[in-house]
Structure 1
């Protein structure tokens, strides 16, 4: 795929959704961090249902710490891996309180040092909370990048590096959300909805369904 075709894809996705954002509910960087941490192997819908009560009871790292592991667990027991996640939430809040004054650090290394936070989560927080042009590669973005031919790669790191290289600066802030939403609702895993896809004619996918 050449750069002109990549630009056309991004322009069409932007025209369809000029101001994309995450589907996770949050009001500040702390809530976003916790929501993304909880979203591993869970849907955004299930996380949003769990965090309504969690954020009401623990709106700050200090308040969340007061809940303790058991209190957090009670709020998030409907989502996957809730035991491990509850422990990580409390450990993360402890570090935020002790090392960062109760604030979420705008720093990749500091974010990735938090329990349960990897590169993908750090990228989401830096992008969505702080406006960095980072590109977090999840399963949807990995699939879309490979299937369309936009940024093929054998692993998420390879795809991320190609996206950072090939996505023009004007699109970098939003491409993460465009690709996630397109992969979630149109270019779905089992049978992509090519007939309703705004970039179908630009996509290099060889096995497009007929209907």
Structure 2
């Protein structure tokens, strides 16, 4: 179920209203005063780069867990996965405002659950953001039986988490499934025994970077 990159424009559809609005205002102000419009054109460039959404190629490997987001690794640790009720390996990717914010599925599999949780808006680079910030948790099960949880976490200024999949859907690695506007984070919870392929501080790209390799045999796991 490894499919090619989804057909899409270079600029994420979530950004079209924002980009159209700021460009329109910039054009109007340009007719009035070209110099006064310069800050608006700079904002337009920022919005353009923020909502870019490049196609990516997924590396081969059925047991590979791919990064669901662009950014920097801020956590690799064993924790409790509260969404699937099990002990797990958590790998967290922090996205700043200059990263691509389109979220991609980390594995092939079935969507078991999608749950939204209201919360705070702490800096997404902080550990407490994982369980205290506004977030959306998606639990997946691979064809080999592994349970993988991907959690979209809002950041300090992120006010909108978008998720386009629902329980029962089948997703493929690298499939675009959501978007988080402005600085944010994605946590991935994996079965114990998974082998990390990244370290804290590493820069990663959605779909292109392998976060970890799942164990060959799926252990007994729980999902509430």
Per the shorter chain, which TM-score range?
Answer: under 0.3
TM-score, structure 2 normalization: 0.22
Whose strand proportion is higher, 1 or 2? 2
Whose helix proportion is higher, 1 or 2? 1
